[in-house]
Chain A
Amino acid sequence: MTLSHLATEDVFVVERNDADFRAGQGMTKGLGIVFRKFRKALFGKPNSDRADTEGQFNVQYPEERLAMPEAYRNMPILLYDDATGHELCTSCFQCERICPPQVIHITQAKDPATGKPVPAAAKFVLEYDTCMSCGYCAEVCPFDAIKMDHDFELSTANHPELDVDYNRLLRPVSYYETIAPTMWSDVKEQAMKKLQNNIKRRPGDIGRDHGQKIKGGAPVAAAATPAAGAAPAAAAKPRGPVAAIGKNMPEDKTAKLLAIRAANAAKRGGGAADAAPVAQAAPVVEAVADAPAAVSAAPTGPVAAIGQNMSEDKRAKLEAIRAAKRAERGE
């Protein structure tokens, strides 16, 4: 076995034992190589050929940037349609459910006139600091509303800034098209079709306000409460799978689910046979909303316990649900 097959001009085989006289030839050669590298790096053009070994490979980062691969993913963003301004998100909660670190928090929008859920998110909060950029949310989104951004310069001295809401999440579709053209063209048609369908079900500016009008959860509840009286009952679609998941669900979600079920039942039955579960669930929600510290007498103990530790937006969510329920019952 010899090294002859390697002895191209770039590989220097110094035969140490054969030469009788070696006046530092090896060292001279080495110095020559290093000097050549120096010359090529200093005077040569920038070299982006990764197979090459000589030249200037550095990219001067803030001024020059390498092109990102299309599928590069950093943090999730939400898309809205350039033409109409409508967001693609329908608040289907798929991303919230699949998110491994559970950093997505969605509040579904309600029709202020009827109190019915609208296929749009009233509030969308994402904790960038805990997000692990897995991209599951973008994978699972049936409406191609949530996508992974290429922007990675997110460092900040202000930690709470990393809880990002609509204001900072929304990007136009055209932006996503520039960073991932082929990936968008694959899904563009069906996404736009779905969006058109959703737009039809969105009354007024809902789903188009880019989160500008929604500041905190209170206005939503306030908007929902006065409108309660006039809200006609509308059949909500039964959510089979959700009920099944309920057993292993975290507590806040259980609470939400209970509330939703209760609301559905109220709408459907209007005080019929399944009024019992409603009666069971409703006071729990009310107790939580009115007095968070109060110990609930209801059998679903965990729900009451959550109330103390609940975050603002979740409480707002509960508030909204409660308002909706009052409206139902008040009928």
Chain B
Amino acid sequence: MNPIAIGVFIVIALLTLGSGIMVVTVRNIIHSALWLIASFIGVAALYLLMEAEFLAVVQILVYAGAVSILVLFAIMLTRQVTGEGVRVVFERWWVALLIALGLFGVIVPTLWKHGATWEEAAKLAQVGPAPVEGAANSLQVATATEIGRSFMGEYLLPFEVVSVLLLMALIGAVVIAYEERTRRRRVLTLAEELALKKRGIVEPRDAEGAVMPREAEGKVILLDSEQA
């Protein structure tokens, strides 16, 4: 790696780490989510520095573009956003620290072990792409083609397991949404409300005056025309 690349790496790494620290120390939870996005983008920049364009772009697309937005959505559904009087450091902070150190301890030896090949990969990247496809270093999984090949070949099983997991989540979401939908009656237009009222159908209401679903009948209220 040339000195410029190292300098850029240090800057990006510091920015990423700094935003990561801000995520856990900032009191305003929205700000913390925004810092999280910054750190995601920093990671993408690191990928880019390693000439893993595809990974970098996917990192931005999935993490910065989608995951963080879901996080923001979830935050905005919570009550307390500004975080006044929220404790940042909890009593059992050392548990979190242990877990983080443990993960670090798993990752670093792995990197250490493959360090030599990593450097080789960096050298390869500096020289240029592998002249013959297939003859490339198996560790240089940077381009979309190579990632695709390794997903469909070497790492097929993990890939499929993850796919099944995601599929389960998807089906679960559909099931939950579907149940919600059947229990809820569709919103009537004003004209339909009037029609119901004129035909003497009074909608059941709960104590607060909101319309209650008519579960006793096991089905939604239908107009004559709809039943026919």
**Direct touching of A and B (C-beta under 8 Å):** no
CB within 8 Å of B: which residues of A? Answer: none
Interface residues of B (CB under 8 A from A): none
